[in-house]
Structure 1
Amino acid sequence: MELKSIKDAFDRVANKQKLSYTKTQEIIQMLSQELDKALILLQEQFDQRPILASLKKTLQENSPLTQIEVREKELNMALTKYPKVLEKQQLNSDISKAYRHNVEFDTHVVNQIIANFFYRQGMFDVGDCFLAETGDESECSTRRSFVEMHQIVEAMEMRRELGPALNWATSNSEKLRQARSDLEMKLHSLRFLEIARDQTSQEAINYARKHMAGFADSSLYEIQKLICSLLWSRNLEHSPYSDLLAPSRWNDAVRELTRQYCNLLDESSESALSTTLAAGTQALPVLLKYMNVMVAANKKLDWQSVEQLPVAVELSEEFQFRSVFVCPVSKEQASDENPPMMMSCGHVLCKQTINKMSKNGARSSFKCPYCPTDVDISKCRQLHF
């Protein structure tokens, strides 16, 4: 099951759809502008024929319908090819051969992980119902905290209210500074722009003096940019500082608040359940393919006895939480019994590989497999990641 090819085909369709939408919007905007100009001229001039003739010529030269049809045709071609990509993939629904069967889970912990996922998404009724249905009467330890977090996020996203977020950030200011987060500055920037828009420039300057002075060392450029934007306070959207009004600034603030809120709870920004499922989705096709090869070769693999995966599984960077060393010679992952060792030449091998190359210490030196250096076994040093 090649998920990458399916994803690539889907991305092509999505990109074509976005391109088609963008082009259609541009054409509609052009038509609207031309019609508005023609209407203004029709109201000002008595002779309407040259105006209508000019409008007709402009429409013929731009051919808006033809342009839309071309984009729609490209999108339809991509949509037509996508089902064919799916048909070529042998989707195997039987994943049982790629995991261990006799694994004992702590039911209470699993229930808490699932409930925690619902609470993270703001689905508090669903989480409560789930725990009630499982008979687990204990409340998830993070429920109350996530209620507060979602109230703050909802105020920002739905009502553009910064009060709750600023109150939380101010009360946790020292912890945010220790985490080197710029969340507090981001929130003050948004509040500054609101004051500049709804009140006066002087009040915005007073707010900056009171709340942003402490961020001058780390965010001086941002503060200078905000102050200069006051020169266009009544026409900021058409100024060199129009990017300050971008919706992405609110989205960035929400993401940073969510991340830091979870961080102060000693929780990851993503739930354990979603991370496990996402990583498993990437690893599963490789394991299934390996098992199919083993079956075809009439070989068996006892999942209960293996200590590490029998095949290399490349996960995306977001799922790499700690350094892992794999010996470039034996292809085995380092462990406490087989730690990585740096040789005098700077190259690194696992301890068991070095033992084999030195005949278990019978030879005091051996040649490095990656450079012409003679390696002195006594000078090999263990690395700690």
Structure 2
Amino acid sequence: MADNMPTLRKDLQAVARKARLTSAVNDVDSIITKLLEARESIAAGGDPHAASLILTKLQNPIKEGFETVNNDLKAVSKTQKEFGKALDRSFPITSLPTEYDVMQKHPALINRAIAMHLLREGHFDVSRVFMDEARDMASITPTRTVKPKRSEEINTDAPMLDNGLSDAVTSVAANFTPSESMYLQDKFQHMYSILQDIKARNLGSAIEWSRDNSDALEERGSNLEFELCKLQFIWLAKSQSYGLDGDGDEDTDDDEGSPVGNDFGAAFAYARDHFDRFRTRHLAEIQRLAAALVYASNIHESPYATVFETATAFEDLAASFTREFCSLLGLSAESPLYVAATAGTIALPRLIKFIGATRSKRTEWTSANEMAFETPLPASMTYHSIFVCPVSKEQTTGENPPVRLPCGHVLANDSLHNLAKGSKFKCPYCPVEGLTRDAQQIYF
């Protein structure tokens, strides 16, 4: 597959060069121009015989023009088909392994993940229709009680769970209730409304939300409220220094962006009213912001040039706001369905290769609940460490968790009990002895 990539790149370059609609668009414009000229000539003349003559003369040019457009489109279509054949040759269709589907017994959880993804992405109408149809389908199919292994409760009094079922709901048919979906829809609509304000350089709604949830953010150790107020202060000062309008465009006297005013009263007033509550944790940063105003008229050549840099500040804060908003709902910042699908796509080529190798050797994949090999994932998808027992050389699981011995060494729980003689054991890495009840389970 890798050997075919250089050829595919050349084919793709040929598509970009040949499969362009510029010629077809120009030919269509030429036809429109001829038709407009004919209409103007007929309207200006007023003679029906002259109009008939003009239309007669126009038939052949228009016919030739349509033929030229069709030829242009045929060339584009031919190039696209050739590239499609090249893709088929380089990436032949391979049947996917379907002997074991780990999610086959959990259709409700799959539907819930899809509905949650649609809600998180702001596709509220699509999510509502999907959930209605999922409930209708579940109501006419046999249902069974589903007890998820774990669930993340949303931090609210509403009867809502993210990755499990509602406490009052035990059947697949009612896995995602309308009240739950409406609650989440209201929350995410509020989130997208605030994100839209941040995109428009209006931080008021985001600051108000952070203040309403300041206690919860404080418990998480989040600096979101201060970062929002900090950017609001910088934006006020920068707007007054360089005459920025609401869209963030500079309204300057010349092309070099010279300042149009130095009245920082609004910025100072904002700092005086809102920064006092942050002085315990962020006094040094507040002092730096105050000092930067001295150089505001020439900030780009000052030691505080980075303080007033806002090129990506609003985008970064929007990402931080989304992360904190979802965290307070008990949700991850990224859609679990997107992460799972992306990780699966990365692992799929290795899985197909592994299945092909085992079939050729007439062996079977016996690890039904886990991957038979390690799949390298990007750093953004590395959420926790994986512990491998140094004694058994096996990866720990929920049924065989890692445990910490009194001496500080860590083993798998099964390895510890295999080493123990009755209730006593000796650490395999040091001379310390202890009791099995003194071993503590640890979590990564």
Q: Scaled by the length of structure 2, what TM-score is found?
A: 0.57
Where 1:100 maps in the other structure, the secondary structure is coil
In structure 2, C-alpha distance between the alignment counterparts of 1:321 and 1:361, rounded to whole Å: 37
- Equivalent residue, structure 2, for 1:242: 305
The percentage of counterpart residues that share the same residue type is: 30
Change (3 A) 1:129 1:308: closer
2:427 touches 2:433 (CA, 8 Å); kept in 1?
Answer: no
2:207 touches 2:228 (CA, 8 Å); kept in 1?
Answer: yes
Where 1:245 maps in the other structure, the secondary structure is coil
- Equivalent residue, structure 2, for 1:123: 123
Change (3 A) 1:348 1:98: farther
Deviation at 1:150, TM superposition (A): 0.4
Change (3 A) 1:239 1:122: farther
**Counterpart of 2:219 in structure 1: which amino acid?**
Q
1:97 touches 1:288 (CA, 8 Å); kept in 2?
Answer: no
**Deviation string, structure 1 residues 299-340 (Cα, Å, up to 9, x no partner):** 12356xx45433344544544445543223433233465443
- Equivalent residue, structure 2, for 1:21: none
1:259 touches 1:269 (CA, 8 Å); kept in 2?
Answer: yes
- The structure number with the bigger radius of gyration is 2
- Equivalent residue, structure 2, for 1:153: 195
**Deviation string, structure 1 residues 65-118 (Cα, Å, up to 9, x no partner):** xxxxxxxxxxxxxxxxxxxxx9998676433248526721233x4333223212
Change (3 A) 1:338 1:173: closer
2:236 touches 2:267 (CA, 8 Å); kept in 1?
Answer: yes
In structure 2, C-alpha distance between the alignment counterparts of 1:182 and 1:365, rounded to whole Å: 47
- Equivalent residue, structure 2, for 1:267: 331
**Deviation string, structure 1 residues 18-71 (Cα, Å, up to 9, x no partner):** xxxxxxxxxxxxxxxxxxxxxxxxxxxxxxxxxxxxxxxxxxxxxxxxxxxxxx
State the aligned residue count.
299
In structure 2, C-alpha distance between the alignment counterparts of 1:221 and 1:178, rounded to whole Å: 22
Tell me, yes or no, if structure 1 residue 100 matches structure 2 residue 101: yes
1:327 touches 1:349 (CA, 8 Å); kept in 2?
Answer: yes
2:327 touches 2:333 (CA, 8 Å); kept in 1?
Answer: yes
Q: Scaled by the length of structure 1, what TM-score is found?
A: 0.64
1:197 touches 1:234 (CA, 8 Å); kept in 2?
Answer: no
Deviation at 1:366, TM superposition (A): 7.6
In structure 2, C-alpha distance between the alignment counterparts of 1:91 and 1:241, rounded to whole Å: 57
Tell me, yes or no, if structure 1 residue 384 matches structure 2 residue 442: yes
- Equivalent residue, structure 2, for 1:112: 112
Change (3 A) 1:307 1:121: closer
Deviation at 1:151, TM superposition (A): 0.6
Deviation at 1:188, TM superposition (A): 1.0
Where 2:365 maps in the other structure, the secondary structure is coil
Change (3 A) 1:99 1:205: farther
CA RMSD of aligned residues (A): 3.9
**Counterpart of 2:223 in structure 1: which amino acid?**
D
Change (3 A) 1:378 1:125: closer
1:279 touches 1:315 (CA, 8 Å); kept in 2?
Answer: yes
- Equivalent residue, structure 2, for 1:194: 235
In structure 2, C-alpha distance between the alignment counterparts of 1:350 and 1:237, rounded to whole Å: 57
- Equivalent residue, structure 2, for 1:297: 361
1:162 touches 1:187 (CA, 8 Å); kept in 2?
Answer: yes
Aligned pairs for 1:327-338 within 5 A: 327-335=389-397, 338=400
Q: 1:350 aligns with which of 382, 390, 412?
A: 412
